[in-house]
């Protein structure tokens, strides 16, 4: 028999509230978090791991400010992945610097009540005060599902309230429930522990409670988790180090169960589902949907979206429309930012005295950071559109569709989301590979994820395309232009990265990391109307991160580069090019020029390539710094960077340094090269060593150089690279 001591009082109100937001993936947890916190959020990583930590502040109805911690989406507290491990350790106060939350806000999807209640039952076991937010009630009703909130509340023994977070319905009531939260423990584990395993759990719980210094409820949860292990796995506690006595008892208990032919995991899971079915029988009512119901409409849409041929056409068309829209819609705002930066530069030139400070502000700050910020509108549009696609439920279907292709090249269906995330940034994309169970498939995904064109490459693409690709229509419907040559070039860069990723994955799958393509199981969420507020919130959040990066990493690099390009000073040289060529940075650039000259690049481009290893977008700020030193020296005022690059003449040949071919080669190099120190650091952490990061740097550099070399010389052969 399982018994527990009473822990804590029953009526003392919580003064400084900390709330852990917990729920299944696709349960509406993020939408609820955004609705409760608005823009009062911050994003980081848990210390020592790459799992994202998202926190926010929420003012409750009684005036108390609650701190909300949005834990990763998970299906259970049984730790099979870093996400589940982190969530479990946070809830039990086992992470360094973490305390047990005052209350758990459990988001439960009303349209998938049975599946969601498995996690809810495990949360109840913890004995932490809990409020249940019943989400997706509108979607459930469309499917003929009705949840009796009162019956569910009585069955669970904790407050329950329905919410539609995207419309702010039920939010005030949830805040009220959190405000009145008491330290009264939830009911004892509601599921009936089978007598065949009860004694093993009880004995181990007592030892864990004594030796590990944890509460009876936590000891129970820990005991169940440890005994769920297979016989051939070493006993371990994922949150705290086991005592020798507890470790020995775990092994002894597992062996006793095996000798008695008792499947602990099967009995425990069956008992939990028996409790779940009991709750559902009391609270869940379902009618058979009619032929004209939205459920049938969803199925009809899926026949097109996931069609083995038309599905790929739709996916490619959707990506093409998105990237064309990013390029076209972002041009106006980008131009406005550029004009604002140029106006500031002009004011500096008119009102500041000549000298190094003026040069630093003009070339180092405005030339570097200002140039990079001009591409912020397109980056924000990328995040906005991706957020909308995720909210609609399309991304899960795209992952299922792409599994057919990716499995042939050794990638897992779950690789699609990490690769798609890499369009924003390779770092979260690589972190997202933790959900891939197969080690080889996960490693292949990590190795090819940086080939997807991240948002840091956007400034490079946009600079080159805007300056050197003629703005000609390619596809038009009447007087409406649907696709332009610059837009097509922009799209082509993204698909080049995707094709390269698939080809390299196939090569690794057949050689370096041979293996069988793993099976892929995926739950398809219902189609939903995307939340405009959530998309804008995410866009603003990303904007803050980009601006923060621009004001720190890019600014620092720009200032350092300005100093290296300004000193030592050589009064004997009259032109700006001569002065920069004999500066510290010019010496480095000219030293590496022989290695990049076969690609059509000169020493100035080499400066940008080397400096941008810190972050890819620094290429633009580096070029802005180098070229704007000339403006500051000549007192002409700030000139657009693209205009300066187009006008540059090679003094030896008398020809233009840049051409459309050189611009394309630069973009291809940045598509394929590993130009991100932060990504290298994350790969080292995810692979537990330097072997794979070094291999990744080498193979991507060789790939970038070789492909760029071929493109440049083929272009020259057909006459594309002939300068005016």
Residue range 633-668, pLDDT digits in tens = 444 445 677 888 888 888 777 788 888 899 999 999
Nearest to 389 by CA among 427, 357, 423: 423
Report, as an integer, the average pLDDT of 257-274: 89
Higher pLDDT, 519 or 355: 355
Say which range, 106-110, 156-160, 165-169, has the weakest mean pLDDT: 165-169
Say which range, 359-373, 390-404, 417-431, has the weakest mean pLDDT: 359-373
How far CA 270 is from CA of 140, 307, 455, 620, in Å, comes to 26, 37, 46, 59
Place of tokens 């050589």: 570
pTM of the complete model = 0.63
CA distance 452 to 493: 9
CA distance 560 to 573: 22
Q: In the prediction, which pLDDT does 364 show?
A: 63
**Confidence at 121, pLDDT banded by 50, 70, 90:** very high
427 pLDDT above the threshold of 50: yes
What backbone phi and psi angles, to 5 degrees, belong to 634?
Answer: -90, -10
Q: Which domains does the chain have, with CATH numbers?
A: 18-179 (3.40.50.300), 195-286 (1.10.287.1770), 294-724 (no CATH)
**Confidence at 52, pLDDT banded by 50, 70, 90:** low
Report, as an integer, the average pLDDT of 657-685: 87
Higher pLDDT, 169 or 46: 169
CA distance 428 to 532: 23
Strand order in the sheet with 160-162: 41-45, 52-59, 65-70, 18-23, 103-109, 130-135, 160-162
Q: In the prediction, which pLDDT does 237 show?
A: 44
């Amino acid at each position: 028999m399982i018994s527990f001591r009473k822990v804590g009082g029953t009526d003392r109100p919580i003064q400084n509230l900390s709330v852990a937001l917990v729920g299944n993936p696709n349960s509406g947890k993020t939408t609820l978090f955004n609705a409760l916190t608005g823009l009062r959020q911050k994003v980081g990583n848990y210390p020592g791991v790459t799992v994202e930590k998202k926190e926010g502040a929420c003012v409750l109805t009684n005036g108390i400010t609650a701190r909300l911690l949005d834990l990763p989406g998970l299906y259970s507290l049984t730790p099979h992945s870093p996400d589940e491990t982190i969530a479990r350790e946070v809830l039990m106060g086992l992470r360094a610097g973490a305390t047990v939350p005052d209350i758990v806000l459990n988001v439960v999807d009303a349209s998938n009540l049975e599946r969601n209640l498995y996690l809810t039952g495990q949360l109840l076991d913890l004995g932490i005060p809990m409020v249940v937010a019943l989400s997706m009630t509108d979607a459930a009703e469309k499917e003929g599902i009705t949840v009796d909130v009162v019956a569910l509340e009585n069955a669970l023994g904790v407050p329950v309230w329905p919410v539609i977070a995207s419309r702010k319905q039920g939010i005030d009531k949830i805040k009220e429930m959190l405000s009145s939260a008491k330290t009264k423990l939830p009911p004892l584990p509601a599921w009936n522990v089978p007598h065949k395993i009860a004694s093993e759990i009880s004995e181990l719980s007592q030892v864990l409670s004594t030796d590990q210094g944890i509460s009876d409820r936590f000891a129970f949860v820990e005991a169940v988790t440890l005994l769920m292990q297979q016989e051939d796995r070493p006993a371990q506690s994922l949150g705290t180090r086991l005592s020798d006595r507890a470790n020995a008892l775990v092994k002894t208990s597992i062996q006793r169960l095996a000798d008695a032919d008792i499947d602990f995991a099967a009995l425990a899971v069956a008992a939990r589902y028996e409790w779940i079915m009991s709750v559902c029988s009391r609270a869940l009512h379902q009618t058979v949907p009619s032929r004209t119901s939205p459920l049938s409409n969803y199925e009809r849409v899926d026949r097109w979206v996931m069609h083995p041929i038309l599905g790929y056409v739709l996916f490619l068309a959707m990506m093409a429309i998105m990237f064309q829209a990013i390029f076209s819609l972002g041009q106006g705002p980008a131009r406005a930012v550029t004009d604002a930066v140029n106006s500031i530069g002009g004011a500096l030139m008119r009102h500041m005295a000549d000298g190094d400070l003026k040069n630093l502000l003009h070339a180092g700050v405005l030339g570097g950071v200002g140039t990079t910020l001009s591409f912020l509108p397109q980056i924000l549009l990328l995040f906005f559109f991706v957020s909308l696609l995720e909210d609609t439920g399309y991304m899960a279907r795209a992952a299922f569709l792409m599994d057919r292709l990716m499995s042939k090249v050794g990638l897992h269906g779950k690789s699609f989301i990490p690769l798609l995330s890499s369009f924003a940034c390779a770092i979260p994309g690589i972190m997202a590979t933790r959900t891939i169970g197969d080690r080889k498939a996960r490693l292949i995904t990590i190795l090819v994820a940086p080939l997807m064109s991240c948002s840091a490459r956007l400034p490079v693409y946009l600079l080159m395309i805007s300056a050197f690709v003629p703005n000609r229509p390619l596809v038009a419907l009447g007087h409406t232009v649907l696709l332009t040559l610059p837009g097509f070039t922009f799209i082509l860069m993204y698909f080049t990265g995707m094709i390269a990723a698939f080809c390299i994955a196939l090569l690794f799958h057949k050689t370096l990391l041979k293996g069988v393509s793993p099976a892929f199981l995926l739950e398809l969420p219902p189609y939903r109307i995307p939340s405009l507020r959530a998309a804008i919130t995410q866009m603003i959040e990303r904007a803050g991160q980009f601006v923060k990066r621009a004001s720190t990493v890019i600014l620092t690099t720009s200032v350092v580069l300005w100093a290296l390009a300004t000193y030592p000073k050589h009064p004997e040289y009259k032109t700006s090019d001569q002065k920069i060529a004999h500066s510290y940075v010019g010496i480095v650039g000219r030293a590496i020029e022989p290695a990049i000259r076969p690609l059509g690049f000169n020493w100035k481009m080499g400066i940008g390539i080397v400096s941008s290893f810190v972050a890819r977008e620094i290429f633009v700020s580096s070029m802005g710094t180098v070229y704007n030193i000339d403006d500051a020296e000549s007192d002409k005022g700030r000139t657009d960077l693209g205009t300066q690059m187009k006008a540059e003449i090679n003094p030896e040949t008398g020809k233009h340094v840049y051409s459309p071919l050189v611009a394309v080669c630069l973009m291809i190099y940045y598509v394929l090269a590993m130009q991100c120190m932060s990504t290298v650091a994350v790969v080292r952490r995810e692979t537990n060593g330097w072997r794979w990061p070094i291999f990744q740097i080498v193979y991507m550099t060789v790939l970038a150089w070789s492909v760029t070399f071929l493109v440049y010389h083929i272009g020259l052969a057909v006459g594309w690279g002939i300068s005016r």
